[in-house]
Chain A
Amino acid sequence: MTDNTLLINRLERLRPGRILVWTLLFLGGIVMVTPIVFMAATSFKTGQDIYTLSIIPENPSLENYLFILNESKFLRWMMNSLWVATFSTASVLFFDSLVGYTLAKFDFRGRQIVFVAILSTLMIPTEMLIIPWYMMSRSFGWIDTYWGIAFPGLMTGFGTFLMRQFFMNLPDELIDAARIDGWSEFAIWWRIAMPLVMPALSALAIFHFLGNWTAFIWPLIVSNDPDIYTIPVGLASFNGEFQMDWEIVMTASCLATIPTLLVFLLLQKFIIRGVMLAGLKG
């Protein structure tokens, strides 16, 4: 082992060692995005071209995109996903932070019980609830509705826990001062406390939105009508229909992936910080 240690130490000091590490990491990173690059490249290929591994298509064409937009309900699915994820995220931001704030800053009997009860819901896997949710949706007519897709995720134990942690760090004096000034409790939360936990709120928003955008099993169960599919359910419905037209499937997959990648490229630092935040607190 000593030989090895010496070698690594020396490599570390020498620039070539650094360059080697850098190059290997960079190449590894390129390998990581290869599936995405090939997916995007193939979406512009037609006919025999799809059998070539070239990243830049010989005869680039938008034919596949036109086909997807005309022959499938992809745009509709995209709007469905967007609407459900936005609605659900707004609800989570509002309620998780309201509950988190109440549990952090109000002193009342039963607070601990409520907190533990909400925290305990983190132990319940979605898979165990989907059958009861499905029965509930059948009896209330929520099958094939946006509400049906969204209702299970309108509040989350994770978000509540995260927000509570952040609200606990706010000084009580701030809240007491606002009370003396005659602010209502709701206004204190909404106008004073909320702006101070913006980083946590944005992390929660990104996570919940992304989770909803990619959510699969529940939307798959609660929607039978292709008009109500979200993107993942729509994509899965290709299993059978366009199965052999790989360039079509790749185009649809590409359309599903691009929005999140664009958001990531715009907000990279922000998102990574959010992941670290959630990972360390959670």
Chain B
Amino acid sequence: MKDSAINDDRIQRALDGLLSPEEHDALKADVIRDAELRAAYVDQMWLHSTLRAERETLVELLGEAPVAEDKVVRRWPVAIWAAAAAACLTLAASVWTFGKGTIFRHPVATLVQADNCKWAGSDLPTAVNSKLGIGKLALVEGIATLKFQSGAMVTMEAPTTLEILTAMHCRLIEGTLTAEVPEPAHGFTIDTPDIKVVDLGTKFGVTASSTGNSQVRVFEGEVEIGGLPDGKMKRLTEGKGLHVGSATPALGQEPTRGQQVQEAGGWTAIPTSFGRGKDACARRGDRGAPLGSQALIIVKHSDIEAGRDNERRAVISFDVSQVATAKVLEAQIVLDPEPSGFGFATLVPDESRFAVYGLTDEALDAWDEKEVRWASLPGCSDKGPNPNQVRKLAEFWIPRGGSGGPLTVRSEALAEFIHQDTDGLVSFLIVRETGETDSNGLAHGFSSKEHPTARPPTLRLK
């Protein structure tokens, strides 16, 4: 807490007139920039000015013997300003009018937009155009935009919990948000469990989990990062990012082998965790590869040059050896979207479109989950799905802000594809077809069979 001690010292010196004009200006600049310092400044100023304003009563109050315990204290004696006011009666009036007094209930922000939103455990109103004071907002589904009175716009992407502290300060408890901060609100600050992000005139995004592991990405302008383990402040400029905390996303657990389940209505559910089933994704450039044992399979497409290396595709295989595939009438693939922690939904279109391709070349079913890389991802070349090896079976859409639960992909072509299986294993390539408006757009995640809680990709047949 060395920093705040130094700051306190400056505030205290300012109160006693011990700062040079230069130092005073520097303090002012810091008060503008740093919300915490600003709060301390106002606190100290309040004490100082109250003591000054009530000087007449100080002697009386302090003339009494010290009290050890709290007592009921009478109110401050009234009005030393009566004399001044009376004197004013004789002053000539000048021409000056004032508007009506405005409401003074300290709203700090307004909820200006809410798309597909569901809220939980929020102690603030969640209707659009609600005025928000200090408090917590928990967004379970959807995308919501807040406009702070300072002018800062903050967009929350579910699942996200945010605490509003002041018009210049909020705390990201967990989740993802993007912020766009106009000039009067420079200095707008976002705390995460492990860092502090101070805007210096920007558009930027922040993600954090409740245990930290924060990521910051600057789309435009500049931000300053505080609270880093080395105690230093760090500046991030346009296009730069920073990741604090564990370097790799948590690995999934070794999955328990799943069961093929008979469901009501004649459906049979086959998860990727059953039999020879498998799921994986690969990323162009193979950073962090192989990704076959991650808790998520992640899919992303970008037409932007800077986003090229973030392209990700997924492949999933189901063991259908225990099913009479020739008798299948209907088929569905169920995917459970999970936040990937990569990218920002604000930067992808209102709806993202995905495609599911079936691997028609059965030799490709033998792909190795432990070893799969970009080049060995079955059924596609670097450019995309290879029409000689795959067939497009279905498309699905995910609205920005999430679909709010598992997605079911179904088509006649999918059932027909299952019919044609001969080796007891069916494989699908999943790609995103829509791009992004910025290379930091959202990467869509789906739980894999390694996910500790969510359900793995599942093939349902009837």
A binds B: no
- Chain A residues within 8 Å of B, Cβ to Cβ: none
- Chain B residues within 8 Å of A, Cβ to Cβ: none
